[in-house]
Structure 1
Amino acid sequence: MLAAIRSTDRQLAKGLAAGTPPLLHRTLSAVEEAAESTKLWCGAAAVMAAAGGWRGRTAATAGVSAMMLAQLVSNGLCKQLVDRERPPEQWFPHDEAKDRPESSSFPSGHTAAAVAFTAATAAVWPAAGAVCAVPTALVAVERVQSGAHYPSDVAAGAAIGLAVAMLVRRAPRLVLGWWS
Structure 2
Amino acid sequence: MGLLTALRSGDHRLTRRMAAWDSVWARRLLPPVEEAAEHTKLWWAAAVIMAAGGGWRGCKAAAAGIAGMAAAELLSNGVAKQLVERRRPPKEWIPHDDVEDRPDSSSFSSGHTAAAVAFTVAVAPSWPWAGAACAVPTALVALERVHSGAHYPSDVAVGAAIGVAAAALVRATPRLLLRHLR
Q: Structure 2-normalised TM-score?
A: 0.95
1:9 is matched by which residue type in structure 2?
Answer: D
In the alignment, the residues of structure 2 paired with residue 19 and residue 115 of structure 1 have an alpha-carbon distance, to the nearest angstrom, of 23
In the alignment, the residues of structure 2 paired with residue 53 and residue 112 of structure 1 have an alpha-carbon distance, to the nearest angstrom, of 27
Residue of structure 2 equivalent to 1:174: 176
- SS class of match (1:144): helix
2:41 is matched by which residue type in structure 1?
Answer: K
Residue of structure 2 equivalent to 1:96: 98
How much does 1:150 deviate? 0.1
- SS class of match (2:124): helix
In the alignment, the residues of structure 2 paired with residue 120 and residue 111 of structure 1 have an alpha-carbon distance, to the nearest angstrom, of 14
How much does 1:123 deviate? 1.5
Query: 10, 13, 17: which is aligned to 1:11?
Result: 13
How much does 1:20 deviate? 3.2
Which consecutive unaligned segments of at least 5 residues does structure 1 have?
none
Which consecutive unaligned segments of at least 5 residues does structure 2 have?
none
Matched-pair identity in %: 64
Residue of structure 1 equivalent to 2:164: 162
Preserved CA contact (<8 Å) 2:21 2:147:
no
In the alignment, the residues of structure 2 paired with residue 22 and residue 2 of structure 1 have an alpha-carbon distance, to the nearest angstrom, of 35
1:25 is matched by which residue type in structure 2?
Answer: R
- SS class of match (2:125): helix
Number of matched residues? 177
Residue correspondence of structure 1 range 71-90 to structure 2 within 5 A:
71-90=73-92
Residue by residue, what CA displacement relative to the aligned partner does 1:134-165 show, whole Å, maximum 9, x if unpaired?
A: 00000000000000000000000000000110
Residue of structure 2 equivalent to 1:105: 107
In the alignment, the residues of structure 1 paired with residue 8 and residue 92 of structure 2 have an alpha-carbon distance, to the nearest angstrom, of 17
- SS class of match (1:67): helix
- SS class of match (1:157): helix
2:89 is matched by which residue type in structure 1?
Answer: P
Residue of structure 2 equivalent to 1:130: 132
